[in-house]
A and B are shown apart, each in its own frame.
Chain A
């Protein structure tokens, strides 16, 4: 009898890949993806050793332009977020535990804002603002053959496109983090002064007492690491676009989502290591 369908549905169902096959394919994809990600960073870092004084100067100007966009132009939004987050934290603590003393309030402010909210808040703002811009810009350049065009005139894409962006994002993240800490603590301080006016000196003493020298390496490790993740991942996913402009939005979105995920994971690991080394978050 002549089949009414052009294919046998039972055969199609049987030829569906097994779970093991799918897992293997997924694992290989992930492995190749990680390899390509590592290669993006390696090639960019290796371009540091490439000769050419003029090329270095051109790349430096690209870095300055990126620094202006990622750092300077983000100041307003970072100010607002830091101020209100610092203030909100103090209000929440006061609402949850009205009897809490000013000194403990100051200690919590430092522990939460300086060590956790500032790094992650800055990273989220930089990734959302500049990370998206980097991924879409590079993706658009790739789709429009601009990256090939740069290579055709002897310009090294890792040196001209990737390295300056990663460097600028690291420097901007460090600077914005410091700014976030200052504004966040100032916001918390101001509200703390309003809601706990009698113990303002105690609040100040708590802030001063909580700051330890080991906060400096923590700040540097978090700032450099988070900035590196943002710049690196967003450049990689932008440049992973092949030829079609329709690839740009999904690749950029995926890049920024993975950036945020890895920022959270990295922050958690560094915080855990910090307290494992330094000890209790609130000095007694």
Chain B
């Protein structure tokens, strides 16, 4: 057996070492351990992090700006006749790799929030990512010192006292789940990480045996020993719930690509069966890497192909299969999806058929309860953009987060203020009730 067959073998053997659950799951209330009320209590948010900074202008192409773009991104622009146009005339079209998302758009299952950014944007991947996951844009001295993520602060407000007393019963999910290499910072609250992160279920195959605890030393190393012990315990508490949720609900969609061909699809597929299997987790975060397309973003010979086209195709196919799966599971109405990226890219392309770091991103949201498909304005471009020009944002990303907390989870304003203290006051009308 060579390495490849080993990989196949291990991935095919799902680790149901804890066995299937012997207890009956009560479906009366999905999230009985948290404080969401009424129509909001079964709702789930799935975040997709597009790592590297997505080139918005080649993803959602503003048609009225096409002549400008033709001048300044000649070597990467998508030919006008290849742009996918939505049924309704909306002034923009989709990258040709995104036929699936265009259909979702036409069916009112996808909405795009245009022109999302924040004042005085940062062009560093790391600071940019930090800003998006902490929702703290402060810069300069001490600015690196935001300790928690916005997701972490939100779930912290819902799971009072966590981790003490959680999970309330075997089978409950963690407050948040990260799949792939998503930074734990996004799910960290003010005192503790409220997320559980893993790559796939094979991670759980052989977990540590139980053993007696060591006494706590009051040194840094002693603190680490205590932390390690408690993290291992916390993870172990949630594994039965995670594995049995997957055991309860097989994936039903036939639209998923072959395993390992599209990592994002693999991750969303796992999320779908966790949601379908009634794992009680409120937020899932997955990631797709590779958007830092400084060079060879497109093929020189055909700008509809290349790195970016592959990424957008993977994104589109993954979301479509995920939505199809949720629909077949009867969970589609409960789930909202949303993308985020550390920034968009420069208006003017570079010589290497790529784009450098820019500012504004377009946020995709998908689900059945979306109010309208077109939110915000298409970003305005200067008449004659130079290499240093960037798009100016219309919608603050913190206002988007706040609007999701308000509209999707029904969170009252006073709570939103504690989670997103610096969010501007405007709220987007994103959802149908």
Interaction A to B: no
Q: Which residues of B contact A (CB under 8 A)?
A: none
